[in-house]
């Protein structure tokens, strides 16, 4: 993930300074453990200033509005208490070439600052610190104790101390090419490393693009460069310093990331705020998506493995209990033929009551015939009691297996991050599992089922009818029991975990065979059997779909169904063409 360097921070703050100052602070919201957003209002616009101290993605920019979920973080409440209603009047760097900016808040423009919000964009050491006008720390996103750092502790009540000064020479537009070249080539390092070690304000990404745009190899050693190579590189060096001096930037996305200098750009972006917001939202969403999907998959797999083992154990006990009637029959035979028993017998063969065929009965030689029969009767009763105890437990395990296999299928369908709704669907699965007590999360912020999202998969059938597909169990319930209308058709794979699929129909319209087959293909694709050639799919009217009392999310029973054979590969081919713009 590309980190915000000094150039990017300068460009972002310059744009915010020009377009958003002064601005009144109306709200503070903490999105997650690394990100806050300040709602700013100017005379002609309103927007959220996003500040992140994420160790890999620390940044500051005008971002998207936060979600409508209660904010339960303490840090944001402390900031709101101090900054609410005040004006953001200045955004200044605390020192030249430092990646620390000072956001100053006053009662109104022109008055001295009452509060300073220091934003330190320094990789894994990034932080956000609020101080009063005397520069005493009031709160910090991440407090650092004396034991954690004797060099620079950050704790409430202590004076704010800036980070240790950077080493390296200060870049200057007035420096001659000869002096600059001498400094860079003092030690014959690789060009990339030589630049980074010689001057402040540089980052690996900036140096890489600077050298490549100059047509050079970043790994070439400085002693191999020709005079014209040095001249081309110095021109790019000067371009960089002029952009900083005049605060004139050219935001563009690049294949690996972004640039604010236009170097190696593939697509221009409206402004730096949009560039940073889009890039870091995408990167952090992808990272969170991967981590959350792996965690959910592993948790579900572990639970399913234990449940399947438990189910096999119960089934083995039931198989053993199937011999209960056999033991009773043996006891009856023994009691009916007491005269055939002799002391010390270990086996006895007696004729079956119905067939007359011999039945072999194992005996305990130290017991008489009646005692052996009593033992067989006791074994019969014990196995009967075991069956009555085990059967409801097995039923309970099977219900739980059915539910979790449905969850497993939903996770499998969300196999890669493409849009923000993919991450949202995974978060809903996590919330559902927390509600069902399969997961624990001390930072969980409850969102009731009433607010289940409607970010369904949406497609159009050959006749133009809308097809809605749930992404997880909560959406399946929402789709089937809240969205579905009287004239729609409901689809689901037969006895196979998968998504609920709804074909929306207007009153008086009848779906063609092609529309029904289209819906069946997608129901098969969004199921656990998506790799099969053909999958049985049932469809019926929503009024014939019911939720059993006390059933878990996503579980439904149906009647008056008809069956179609869905072909998941046809749906997959359609989706591939759709992604390709076909």
pLDDT tens digits, one per residue of 28-73: 999 999 999 999 999 999 999 999 999 999 999 999 999 888 898 9
Per the DSSP assignment, residues forming a β-bridge with 88 are 23, 105
Any idea what the CATH number is for the domain that residue 211 is in? Answer: 1.10.8.50
CA distances from 258 to 15, 213, 252, 283 (A): 17, 14, 6, 12
Q: What is the mean pLDDT of residues 180-185?
A: 94
Whether 449 maps to a domain, the answer reads: no
pLDDT in tens, 517-541: 999 999 999 999 999 999 999 999 9
Per-position b or e across 128-160, b if 16+ CB within 10 A of its CB: bbbbeeeeebbbbbbeeeeeeeeeeebeeeeeb
Q: Is the pLDDT of residue 448 over 80?
A: no
pLDDT at position 410: 94
Asked if residue 90 is part of any domain, the answer here is yes
Last residue of a domain, one of 398, 416, 436: 398
Do 136 and 188 sit in the same domain of this protein?
no
Q: Is residue 159 assigned to a domain?
A: no
261 shares its domain with 368: no
Residue indicated by tokens 């948790």: 299
Sequence length of the chain is 582
Give the pair of three-digit tokens for residue 293: 């999907």
Q: Which of 251, 269, 287 is the last residue of a domain?
A: 269
Same domain, 136 and 60: yes
26: Cα separation from own chain's centroid: 30
Same domain? For 132 and 186 the reply is no
Instruction: Give the DSSP letter of residue 535.
Output: E
The reported pTM is 0.78
Question: 505 and 389, same structural domain?
Answer: no
Residue 218 lies in a domain: yes
Same domain for 129 and 38: yes
Burial grade of 411 (CB within 10 A; 0-12, 13-18, 19 or more)? buried
Does one domain contain both 132 and 182? no
- The rounded distance, in Å, linking the Cα atoms of 346 and 215 is 96
With CA atoms as reference, report the closest residue to 418 among 285, 296, 578.
285
21 and 82 share one domain: yes
Radius of gyration of the chain (CA): 35
Q: Is residue 426 situated within a structural domain?
A: no
The reply to whether 230 falls in a domain is yes
Query: Which candidate, 49, 51, 80, 77, places its Cα nearest to that of 65?
Result: 49
Distances (CA, A) of 54 to 147, 441, 530: 22, 20, 38
pLDDT value of residue 323: 77
Phi and psi (nearest 5°) for 473? -65, -40
Is residue 435 one of the residues assigned to a domain?
A: no
Q: Among 471, 454, 452, which residue's Cα sits nearest to residue 411?
A: 471
**Cα angle for residues 266, 270, 273 (degrees, 5° grid):** 105
As to burial, measured by CB atoms within 10 angstroms (0-12 exposed, 13-18 middle, 19+ buried), residue 21 is middle
State the Cα–Cα distance between residues 463 and 112, nearest whole angstrom.
66
Model confidence band, residue 423 (pLDDT cutoffs 50, 70, 90): very high
Look up the domain containing 249 and give its range: 177-269
Sheet containing strand 258-259, edge to edge, reads 258-259, 252-253, 267-268
Nearest to 407 by CA among 297, 302, 285, 520: 297
What CATH number corresponds to the domain at position 75?
2.30.310.10
Q: What average pLDDT does the structure give for the chain?
A: 92
Smallest Cα–Cα separation from 192: which of 170, 166, 226, 222?
222
Residue 441 lies in a domain: no
Do 33 and 133 share a structural domain?
yes
Say yes or no to pLDDT of 89 above 90: yes
| Residues 182 and 113 both lie in one domain | no
Residue 145 clears pLDDT 90, i.e. is over it:
no
| pLDDT at residue 279, rounded to an integer | 96
317 — pLDDT class (breaks 50, 70, 90): confident
pLDDT score of 450 = 45
Together in a domain, 122 and 186: no
User: Do residue 259 and residue 385 come from a single domain?
Assistant: no
Rounded to an integer, the average pLDDT of 380-387 is 81
Q: How far is CA 256 from CA 68, 92, 209, 427, in A?
A: 32, 30, 11, 27
Instruction: Compute the distance between CA of residue 434 and CA of residue 292 in angstroms, rounded to an integer.
Output: 13
Residue ending a domain, among 366, 383, 398, is: 398
Coil, helix or strand for 514? helix
pLDDT higher than 80, residue 449: no
Q: How many domains does the structure of the chain reveal?
A: 4
């Amino acid at each position: 993930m590309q980190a915000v360097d000094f150039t990017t921070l300068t460009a972002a703050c310059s744009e915010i300074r020009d377009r958003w100052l002064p601005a009144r602070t109306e709200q503070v919201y903490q999105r997650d453990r690394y990100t806050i957003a300040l709602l700013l209002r100017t005379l002609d616009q309103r927007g959220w200033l996003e500040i992140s101290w994420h160790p890999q993605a620390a940044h500051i920019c005008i971002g998207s509005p936060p979600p409508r979920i209660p904010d339960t973080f303490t840090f944001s409440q402390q900031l709101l208490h101090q900054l609410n209603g005040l004006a953001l009047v200045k955004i200044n760097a605390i020192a030249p070439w430092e990646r620390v900016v000072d956001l100053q808040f006053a009662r109104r423009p022109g008055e001295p600052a009452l509060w300073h919000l220091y934003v330190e964009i320094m990789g894994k050491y990034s932080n956000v610190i609020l101080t009063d006008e005397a520069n005493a720390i009031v709160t910090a996103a991440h407090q650092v104790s004396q034991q954690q750092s004797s060099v620079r502790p950050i704790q409430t009540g202590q004076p704010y101390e800036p980070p240790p000064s950077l080493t390296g020479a200060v870049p200057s537009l007035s420096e001659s090419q000869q002096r600059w070249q001498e400094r860079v080539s003092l030690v014959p390092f690789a060009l990339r490393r030589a630049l980074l070690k010689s001057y402040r304000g540089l980052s690996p990404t900036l140096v890489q693009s600077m050298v490549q745009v100059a047509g050079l190899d970043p790994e070439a050693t400085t002693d191999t460069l020709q005079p014209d190579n040095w001249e081309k590189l110095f021109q790019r060096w000067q371009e960089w310093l002029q952009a900083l001096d005049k605060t004139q930037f050219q935001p563009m996305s690049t294949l690996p990331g972004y640039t604010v200098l236009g170097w190696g750009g593939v697509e221009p972006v409206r402004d730096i705020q949009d560039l940073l917001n889009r890039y870091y939202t995408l990167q952090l969403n992808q990272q969170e998506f991967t981590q959350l999907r792996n965690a959910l998959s592993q948790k579900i797999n572990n639970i399913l493995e234990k449940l399947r083992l438990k189910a096999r154990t119960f089934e083995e006990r039931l198989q053993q209990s199937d011999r209960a009637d056999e033991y009773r029959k043996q006891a009856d035979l023994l009691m009916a033929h007491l005269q055939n028993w002799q002391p010390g017998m270990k086996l006895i063969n007696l004729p079956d009551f119905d067939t007359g065929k011999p039945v072999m009965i194992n005996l305990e030689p130290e017991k008489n015939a009646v005692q052996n029969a009593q033992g067989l009767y006791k074994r019969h009763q014990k196995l009967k009691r075991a069956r009555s105890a085990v059967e409801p437990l097995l039923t309970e395990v099977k219900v739980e297996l059915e539910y979790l296999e449905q969850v497993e299928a939903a996770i499998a369908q969300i196999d890669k991050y493409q849009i923000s709704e993919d991450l949202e669907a995974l978060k809903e699965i996590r919330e559902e599992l927390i509600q069902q007590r399969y997961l624990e999360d001390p930072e969980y912020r409850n969102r009731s089922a009433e607010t289940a999202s409607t970010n369904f998969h949406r497609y159009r059938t050959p006749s133009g009818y809308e097809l809605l597909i749930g992404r997880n169990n909560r959406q399946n319930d929402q789709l089937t029991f809240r969205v579905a209308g009287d004239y729609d058709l409901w689809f689901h794979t037969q006895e196979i975990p998968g998504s609920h699929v709804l074909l929306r129909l207007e009153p008086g319209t009848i779906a063609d065979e092609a529309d029904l087959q289209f819906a069946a293909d997608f129901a098969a694709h969004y199921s656990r059997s998506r790799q099969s050639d053909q999958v049985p799919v049932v469809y019926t009217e929503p009024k014939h779909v019911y939720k059993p009392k006390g059933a878990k999310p996503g579980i439904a029973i149906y009647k008056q169904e008809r069956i179609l054979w869905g072909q998941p590969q046809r749906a997959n081919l359609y989706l591939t063409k759709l992604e390709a713009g076909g």
